[in-house]
Amino acid sequence: MALCAAAASTATAFASSRLSASTARPRGPSSTSLPSFVGAFPRAVATRRSRRAAAPAAARRAGVTVRAEAKKKSVLIVNTNSGGHAVIGFYFAKELLAAGHAVTVLTVGDEGSDKMKKPPFSRFSELTSAGGKTVWGDPADVGAAMGGASFDVVLDNNGKDLDAVKPVADWAKSAGVGQFLFISSAGIYKPTEEPPHVEGDAVKESAGHVGVEKYIAEQFGSWASFRPQYMIGSGNNKDCEEWFFDRIVRNRPVPIPGNGMQLTNIAHVRDLSRMLSLAVEKPGAAAGKIFNCVSDRAVTLSGMAKLCAAAAGVAAVEVVLYDPAAAGVDAKKAFPFRNMHFYSEPRAAKEALGWRSSTNLPEDLKERYAEYAASGRGEKTMTFDLDDKILAAVGKAPASVAV
Amino acid sequence: MAATASLKSSLLLPSPLSDFSGAAVSISAQKRRSSWQPRGARVQVSAAADSKNILVMGGTRFIGVFLSRILVKEGHQVTLFTRGKAPITQQLPGESDAEYAEFSSKVQHLKGDRQDFEFVKTSLAAKGYDVVYDINGREAVEVEPIIDALPNLEQYIYCSSAGVYLKSDILPHCEVDAVDPKSRHKGKLETENLLTSRGVNWTSIRPVYIYGPLNYNPVEEWFFHRLKAGRPIPIPGAGNQITQLGHVKDLARAFNLVLGNPKAGQQIFNISGAKYVTFDGLARACAKAGGFPEPELVHYNPKDFDFGKKKAFPFRDQHFFASVEKAISELGWTPEFDLVDGLTDSYNLDFGRGTFRKAADFTTDDMILDKKLATV
């Protein structure tokens, strides 16, 4: 079971057995961590566990053991109109709709704006055809956008600081919203020499998201904050893997700052929406918690280049390592990922929500590449000014790294 | 924990022959079972319900020193199989005379060379053991005579290594990940495969880098020597390579938690620290642990040097770390030492008292530093 047939060394971590092993694990929704003394009273534990899995109190009193039915909820997603997080609201909405919940997506700004021509907004018909409502408005006045409507759950997938989120939170509280969820960022963690970032680790107190987390913790009994990193997935508003594909399909070297060993999390957005959905399904388990909203594996920057090449069916990719200062470039402009270890683990979601990661980068990137290839983007004329500047500074022929 | 202790004492049998309705109930303060063994279950009734007759292959050097103490405290009968070259027991730094006397009076010794397969087979068959902890096995052939000698063996608990994982750009290593049949540790893999094929109830523990007092592998010691000498710490590459250390006492607790644990049957568990650490970070953590000032770190390209047979740095020059999530969720184990606390424990009980296994050797350091000076 531990062996995998994949040829690429980077792909070998993900045999299908990995996923089946994960899903086959016996931990159900009731298996939150128990106090140590229960080992001495296993019979009591068994009873307690079956009780947890059973229906609410009324059914128990009636002597009926019913499998807990997720109550259908009304959910409002306040969604950003651009950037890497936009796609989270789209997947979350779809997943909620598929589960039978009532979903409204309030996108910031105007329906007619140019921003709405890009994914995921260009695909909002997928939400409306599934019964979702899509509206546009100003998060500073959600009440006006929503009229008198209230919701069981509100997700703010827009604000990065209290200025942006406070009006949403205050409206939600006055409207009697039961559960307030917030998309924060794993970027708020203080850099560490002991990775990964885990929930509870020190954060940069001045970060806008930190102010929001503190505020919603004060305002709501049932709140949760989700800290994502990078995402791939169809409908993404921001380039991720495309940056690598653009170079690979044009037989260009891939310039990576530093030594390429920096680790980062790149998750399929379905993992994020799954985590959010579980929080809606199990509000008690999610309440008052911070969740790193990432897959449970990290990848090196060079490794990502190799995986993208493998997904594109290319035998080798030329990775060129460079020192941004020496090359005279701003790494933030030249490269789409942070030039440092940026590595979190989703430990709270696994323990509290029974969430499991399904991201399988080697496989997921194949699907991403198929969409990239079909889009024609690979044939478009593109300039690579910063790349060229880097290659000139480095001066030598790029090294070819076997995939 | 108090509730557990009182329950345990109320169940402790006055006579080794009595039992409860045919069910062997094992309750231990250390074990957090998640499944209940019902009365009347087809469970082997051992003479003393809780106590096992345990053989430890090794046990006098590092892991086994701590593990055997836990097992003896748990009430098991513990025999250490060693050649007898090292003392069978040694008083640990920080261990009281009374504790040591208690332990050393109870632990037993079976003297022999485990490479003498015939001797292993006959002596083990003669004694009969319920459980084997194989702490020092390297090759599958060493394990065969043990399995052959003990047909009623309840559990074979094997100390494997995370070194079996195939190097990957996707991390951390998890138990289901691909392994490297060509690795330096392939003997461990072959042993795991042998145990599977022979239908033994086995558990395999894969530690990463183990540290703690009495460590014979110069892991933390390597840094402590340099820190004590006030020398810079030479680190290959950028120093952002990520590794992982696991305290030997946490490892010993994990080994104890898999004993008789139905969740551990035919299972592999990575055991190490809850967090990982960069090479640079580890140098600084060792300094904190020993109360040294922040060290000067000197980075170098190992390809620029020929160190011959000497090791210039105690860790593999790559990312190397494993997720311990499976052990935490399945066994109810948690690593109790964080890195600085664990290194401090090691320093206070070992290096800081003036003891170490390998004398300082700064030959490779000087090669690196000389070259650095020359290029400045």
Instruction: For residue A197, give the chain B residue with the closest CA.
Output: B275
Q: At B1, is the pLDDT very low, low, confident or very high (cuts 50, 70, 90)? A: very low
Chain A residue numbers with beta carbons less than 8 Å from the beta carbon of B339 are 194
Say yes or no to pLDDT of A16 above 50. no
Task: Give B298-339 pLDDT, tens digit per residue.
Answer: 999 999 999 999 999 999 999 999 999 999 999 999 999 999
Instruction: Identify the pLDDT of residue B27.
Output: 38
A 32-51 residues with CB < 8 A to B: 33-34, 36-43, 45-46
Contact status of B41 with chain A (Cβ, < 8 Å): no
Contact status of B120 with chain A (Cβ, < 8 Å): no
Phi, psi dihedral angles at A264 (to 5 degrees): -145, 165
Which of B29-44 are b and which e, b meaning 16 or more Cβ less than 10 Å from the residue's Cβ?
bbbbbbeebeeeeeee
Q: At B50, is the pLDDT very low, low, confident or very high (cuts 50, 70, 90)? A: confident
Distance from CA of A58 to the nearest CA of B (A): 28
How far separated are the first and last CA of chain B, in Å rounded?
Answer: 61
Task: Give A346-388 pLDDT, tens digit per residue.
Answer: 999 999 999 999 999 999 999 999 999 999 999 999 999 999 9
Distance from CA of A14 to the nearest CA of B (A): 7
Distance from CA of A325 to the nearest CA of B (A): 16
Token pair 């090292």: residue? B86
Whole-Å CA distances, A356 to A275, A346, A347: 8, 9, 10
In the numeric block, which tokens belong to residue B60?
A: 């006098």
Whole-Å CA distances, B18 to A242, B11, B12: 70, 11, 10
Residue A133 parent element (H or E):
strand A133-137
Instruction: Identify the pLDDT of residue A300.
Output: 98
Q: Rounded distance, CA B12 to CA B110, Å?
A: 28
Contact status of B193 with chain A (Cβ, < 8 Å): no
Instruction: Identify the pLDDT of residue A129.
Output: 98
Whole-Å CA distances, B366 to A40, B231, B238, B316: 57, 10, 19, 20
In the numeric block, which tokens belong to residue A338?
A: 């942070």
- Helices B220-228 and B339-349: crossing angle in degrees, nearest 10, is 70
- Give the number of other Cβ atoms within 10 Å of residue B304's Cβ: 10
Domains of chain A, earliest start first: 12-62 (no CATH), 74-243+261-306+340-389 (3.40.50.720)
Contact status of B36 with chain A (Cβ, < 8 Å): yes
CB contact under 8 Å between B168 and A42, yes or no, is no
Q: ipTM of this model?
A: 0.85
Q: Rounded distance, CA A240 to CA A364, Å?
A: 13
Provide the mean pLDDT of chain B.
89
CB contact under 8 Å between A12 and B280, yes or no, is no
- Give the number of other Cβ atoms within 10 Å of residue B21's Cβ: 8
- Helices A301-311 and A361-375: crossing angle in degrees, nearest 10, is 60
Nearest to B205 by CA among B217, B219, B184, B191: B191
Task: Give B191-243 pLDDT, tens digit per residue.
Answer: 999 999 999 999 999 999 999 999 999 999 999 999 999 999 999 999 999 99
Range A184-208 average pLDDT: 98
- Name every residue whose Cβ is closer than 8 Å to that of residue A292 and which is 6 or more positions away in sequence: A186, A197, A198, A199, A227, A344, A345, A346, A347, A348, A349
How big is chain A, counted in residues?
403
Instruction: Identify the pLDDT of residue B42.
Output: 43
Instruction: Identify the pLDDT of residue B376.
Output: 62
Picking from A297, A304, A360, A403 by the largest number of B CB atoms within 10 A of its own CB, the best residue to mutate is A297
> Which residues pair with residue A399 across a beta bridge?
A319
Residue A307 parent element (H or E):
helix A301-311
Range A152-174 average pLDDT: 98
CB contact under 8 Å between B276 and A194, yes or no, is yes
Of B178, B238, B339, the CB nearest to A4: B178
B 276-295 residues with CB < 8 A to A: 276-278, 280-282, 284-285
Q: Rounded distance, CA A241 to CA A299, Å?
A: 13
Which range scores top for mean pLDDT: A27-36, B32-41, B116-125?
B116-125
Whole-Å CA distances, B58 to A203, B78, B133, B137, B372: 45, 12, 9, 9, 44
Q: Rounded distance, CA A63 to CA A86, Å?
A: 46
CB of B209 closer than 8 Å to CB of B246:
yes
Q: At B12, is the pLDDT very low, low, confident or very high (cuts 50, 70, 90)? A: very low
CB contact under 8 Å between B7 and A194, yes or no, is no
- DSSP, res A179: E
For the ranges A157-166, A261-270, B11-20, the lowest mean pLDDT is seen at B11-20
Task: Give B188-202 pLDDT, tens digit per residue.
Answer: 999 999 999 999 999
Nearest to B273 by CA among B320, B316, B226: B320
Task: Give B145-183 pLDDT, tens digit per residue.
Answer: 999 999 999 999 999 999 999 999 999 999 999 999 999
Say yes or no to pLDDT of B82 above 70. yes
Range A155-181 average pLDDT: 97
What percent of chain A has a predicted confidence (pLDDT) above 90?
79
Contact status of B1 with chain A (Cβ, < 8 Å): yes
CB contact under 8 Å between B4 and A40, yes or no, is yes
Say yes or no to pLDDT of A189 above 80. yes
CB contact under 8 Å between A39 and B27, yes or no, is yes
B 61-100 residues with CB < 8 A to A: none
Q: Rounded distance, CA A357 to CA A296, Å?
A: 6
Q: In the Cβ-directed half-sphere of A154, how many Cα atoms lie within 13 Å?
A: 29
Chain B residue numbers with beta carbons less than 8 Å from the beta carbon of A17 are 176
Instruction: Identify the pLDDT of residue A62.
Output: 52
Specify the higher pLDDT residue, B45 or A171: A171
- DSSP, res A344: B
Instruction: Identify the pLDDT of residue A35.
Output: 42
Nearest to B189 by CA among B178, B173, B201, B200: B178
What percent of chain A has a predicted confidence (pLDDT) above 70?
81
Task: Give A237-288 pLDDT, tens digit per residue.
Answer: 999 999 999 999 999 999 999 999 999 999 999 999 999 999 999 999 999 9
- A258 three-class SS: coil
Task: Give A264-276 pLDDT, tens digit per residue.
Answer: 999 999 999 999 9
How big is chain B, counted in residues?
376
Q: At A68, is the pLDDT very low, low, confident or very high (cuts 50, 70, 90)? A: low
Q: At A69, is the pLDDT very low, low, confident or very high (cuts 50, 70, 90)? A: low
Instruction: Identify the pLDDT of residue A402.
Output: 52
Provide the mean pLDDT of chain A.
87
